Amino acid sequence: MSQTDTSTIQALSTEVSKLRQELQLRDQLVQQLSQELFRLVKGNTNFIPQPEVSERHQNELQALREQLQAVEQQVAFYQEQIASRDTEIYQLRQSVQELSDRSRMLEQVVQELPQIYRRKFEERMAPIREKVAMLQRENRQLQAELQSVSYRLALKTRTASHSGVDLPNFQRAASEESNISTVQNA
The Cα–Cα gap between 41 and 107 comes to: 80
User: For residue 161, which amino acid is it?
Assistant: S
DSSP-derived 3-state class of residue 19: helix
Of 64, 86, 67, 70, nearest in space to 12 by CA:
86
The Cα–Cα gap between 38 and 43 comes to: 8
User: For residue 112, which amino acid is it?
Assistant: E
Predicted pLDDT of residue 171: 57
Q: Higher confidence at residue 23 or residue 38?
A: 23
Predicted pLDDT of residue 139: 96
Predicted pLDDT of residue 168: 54
Sign of the dihedral defined by the CA atoms of residues 136, 141, 145, 151, in that order:
positive
DSSP 163: H
The Cα–Cα gap between 180 and 186 comes to: 10
The Cα–Cα gap between 184 and 186 comes to: 5
Give residues with Cβ within 8 angstroms of 16, minimum separation 6: 75, 78, 79, 82
Kindly state the percentage of the chain with pLDDT values over 90.
45
Which pLDDT band holds residue 93 (cuts at 50, 70, 90)? very high
- Output helix, strand, coil percentages for the chain, rounded to the nearest 5: 90, 0, 10
The Cα–Cα gap between 57 and 30 comes to: 11
Predicted pLDDT of residue 130: 96
What tens digit of pLDDT does each residue of 98-157 get?
Answer: 999 999 999 999 999 999 999 999 999 999 999 999 999 999 999 999 999 999 999 888
Cβ–Cβ < 8 Å for 130, 124: no
Which pLDDT band holds residue 177 (cuts at 50, 70, 90)? low
Check whether 181 has a pLDDT greater than 80: no
Q: How many helices (H) and strands (E) does the chain have?
A: 3, 0
DSSP-derived 3-state class of residue 44: coil
Q: Higher confidence at residue 20 or residue 171?
A: 20
Predicted pLDDT of residue 51: 59
